[in-house]
Homo-oligomer: A and B are copies of this chain.
Amino acid sequence: MPIPSAADPDSPYARLLHLIVRGRLSPGTPLTEAVLARRLGVSRTPVREALHRLEHDRLAIPAGGGDRLRLMVAPLSAAEVSEVYAAAGALEGVAARNVTSLGQKDREALAKRLASHDAAFRRAARAATLDWDVLFDTHDAFHRELQDAAAGVRIRALLDELRPQVDRYEWLFAPLTGPDFTGTYAEHGAIVRAVRGGSVADVERAVRANWFNGGARLAAVIRTSDTLLLTGSAWSAA
Interface residues of A (CB under 8 A from B): 2-3, 48-49, 52-53, 55-56, 58, 62, 69, 79-80, 83-84, 86-87, 89-91, 93-94, 152-155, 157-158, 161-162
Contacts and interface: CB of A to CB of B under 8 A. Distances in A.
Contacts of A79: 152
Nearest to A87: B155
A83 B158 CA distance: 11
A2 B55 CA distance: 9
Given A2-B62, A158-B162, 5 more contacts: A2-B69, A56-B56, A83-B154, A90-B91, A90-B93
Given A49-B49, A52-B52, A56-B56, A154 B87 contact: yes
A158 B158 contact: yes
Contact of A80 (B56, B84, B91, B154): B154
Contacts of A90: 90-91, 93-94
Contacts of A161: 158, 161
Contacts of A86: 94, 155
Nearest to A49: B52
Nearest to A154: B83
Contacts of A80: 152-154
Residue among A90, A157, A161 with the highest chain B CB neighbour number at 10 A = A90
